[in-house]
Amino acid sequence: MIFYKSMIAGAVEIARAEKDDPGLSCVLFDKDGSIAACNRWAIYAAQPTLTKLAVALPFPSGKVFETACAVSIAQLTGLLRSIPADKQFKGMLEHISAEQDGQFLNIEFNDGRSVIKQKLRCSKVAEALRGWRARLKEIESKKGSSAGNFVYNRARLVSVVNSIEAACKYNGEFAFVEKHSFASGEVWRSFNEISGQAVLVAHITPSAGNLPTKTDWEKGISRNKIVLNIKKKYKNN
């Protein structure tokens, strides 16, 4: 199986927010080649590496996984640091080949000079992580209105933004993030222009009642007042 470095990095950012739960401080390598991670407020999922890209890479693709496996973010952080940046081909070679070996993943990647091998220990897959696909399907089937105000917990939002930034490397072109709402939050969608893979992050937002009321300064520049003043100023034009 072939996995793209930045997709793993995006999953690590989401899992990193769940330090108190060892079961969720892992990244899931699913049987179809998807990568997933979650914390108490967000679910991250990245599309499998495209077949045409995997065939062109300079190392074996490995056998299809028999079962999904989870690897701790501590091990993956070390792995990500050891994979050198591919500047010549804009990150195209920043992939790993992974093969299951009992309770381990045998990893191979190319550092531009030779093939590097590592062995990662697999952890027990937490039920919340195992069910990521069903949960995302449920969320996608209950889309809500995108109108209205949104309130975010900054620390949680940072993990979402960082995961998208890590997974979808900037290639010099317009970088977009698409968002739509569901009953208790939003789904953020982005796209890695280099690898051709899509990324989804479903994010639960807190209640809007947590913010204090508007200050006098805010009320003075509120949208309704601005629109009203504009109409008065240009009513004769």
If you average pLDDT over each of 71-80, 198-207, 212-221, 226-235, which comes out highest? Answer: 71-80
Question: What are the CA-CA distances from residue 209 to residues 146, 154, 161, 179 (Å)?
Answer: 18, 15, 23, 22
Closest to 121 (Cα-Cα) out of 100, 150, 92:
100
Share of the chain above pLDDT 90, in %: 26
Strand order in the sheet with 35-38: 2-4, 95-101, 104-110, 115-123, 69-72, 26-29, 35-38, 42-46, 197-204, 185-192, 178-182
Q: What is the pLDDT of residue 155?
A: 83
For residue 110, which amino acid is it?
Answer: N
Q: Model confidence at 36, in pLDDT bands (50, 70, 90)?
A: very high
Cα–Cα distance for residue pair 49/32, rounded to 1 Å? 10
* The pLDDT value given to residue 222: 59
Is 82 a residue whose pLDDT tops 80?
Answer: yes
Which contiguous run of DSSP H or E holds residue 2?
A: strand 2-4
Better-predicted residue by pLDDT, 222 or 10: 10
SS3 track for 211-228: CCCCCHHHHHCCHHHHHH
Residue 121 has a pLDDT of: 95
Task: Tell me the pTM.
Answer: 0.78
Angle at CA of residue 74, ends 200 and 37, nearest 5°: 20
Q: What is the pLDDT of residue 233?
A: 45
The answer on pLDDT for 221 being more than 80 is no
Q: Which domains does the chain have, with CATH numbers?
A: 2-210 (3.10.150.10)
